[in-house]
Amino acid sequence: MRTIKGPAIFVAQYLSTTVPYDTLSHLAQWASSLGYKGLQLPVDPRLIDITRAANDKTYCDALRAECAQYGIEITELSTHLQGQLIAVHPAYETLFDGFAPPALRGDTQARTGWARNQLVCAAKASKNLGLKAHATFSGALAWPFFYPWPQRPPGLIETAFTELAHRWLPILDAFDACGIDLCYELHPGEDLHDGTSFDRFLAAVGGHRRACILYDPSHFVLQGMDYLEFVKIYHERIRMVHVKDAEFRPEGRQGVYGGYADWTSRAGRFRALGKGQIDFPALFTLLAAYDFPGWAVLENEDPFEEAEECARRGALLIDGWIVKVREGGGFDDFAESGVGRDGLRKVLGLE
């Protein structure tokens, strides 16, 4: 077992033009003041020039030093928006077009090529930054058909996952060449959104060793899944964790699908840490038991509470939940019997 690193915070939801959320240096200083030890960074030009980072280790060393002066490490990079663009069903073409640079919008092929290049650069940048894992989304070709009505034509899902694997395999190989695990956040709206869909993808990419999981229990609560059992099943592939709370309270008018309600009115919604239904002490114990090698990273998407307060309280809660793994002997060593191996048969009544 090992002690999980943390607390850290994913800053995508905090990044803005307002101090202290406007630059890497300001965010590092802010996070440090709240008790965080790490920042998970979206690949955003306001924080990192990903092309330069892919080719200039000196630049990456400077980024690390910029954070280190406040006692902060860069934990991982994230290409959630870029990963989404690897596979976009035409139903979402217009909505996701905004994730690409303005000059590429309306050109699906150019947009996908840009996204692919961003991911390859992120693999190289992660290596230059001394990181071990990277966060992304899978994108989606089959998502509009997640509910089988009208009846899905035979082979539809298989065809979608074959194509998804075809698009991701060269990217997975690029991450493998850099020694970086590519962690898909299993998330509604993505073709990889639960264990079954991840299994299908993993089979399609031949069990690629870099195809890993960003585990966020909140997404499983909102799907009615057993989020603790998931860790027991997939712990060997879990290489990143988002610590985010959620509640699912189905009622007479709505359930998992939410009836098109907004986030404050849905039966399932994200909450600030400690305000939802997730048993974080049990979860952190499981992660420690399975030797999770990464960081405990806060992601805040609470639709009610002020974001700064969520960050402040989140650092304290995560630090308290992290299992500081026992070193040395067991807690009951004081009651040791003194029987050695040569006396074991006697204890069992065999002598």
Residues 129-171: tens digit of each pLDDT: 999 999 999 999 999 999 999 999 999 999 999 999 999 999 9
The per-residue pLDDT for 63 is 98
Cα-based angle 132, 136, 140 (whole degrees, multiple of 5): 150
Do residues 132 and 239 make contact, with C-beta atoms less than 8 angstroms apart? yes
* Confidence tier at 216 by pLDDT (50, 70, 90): very high
Mean pLDDT for 102-106 is 96
Q: Round to whole Å and give the CA distance between 80 and 232.
A: 25
Say if CB 139 and CB 88 are below 8 A apart: yes
CA atoms of 249 and 270, how far apart (whole Å)? 12
Query: pLDDT digit string (tens) for 297-347?
Result: 999 999 999 999 999 999 999 999 999 998 766 666 666 888 999 889 999
> What local confidence, expressed as pLDDT, does residue 202 receive?
98
Mean pLDDT for all residues in the chain: 96
Domains, the chain, in order of start with CATH, read 5-347 (3.20.20.150)
**Would the pLDDT of 183 be above 90?**
yes
Q: pLDDT tens digits, residue range 2-19?
A: 899 999 999 999 999 999
Q: Long-range contacts: 124-127, Cβ < 8 Å, 24+?
A: 124/53, 124/54, 124/55, 124/174, 124/178, 125/43, 125/48, 125/50, 125/53, 125/54, 125/60, 125/77, 126/76, 126/77, 126/178, 126/180, 127/178, 127/179, 127/180
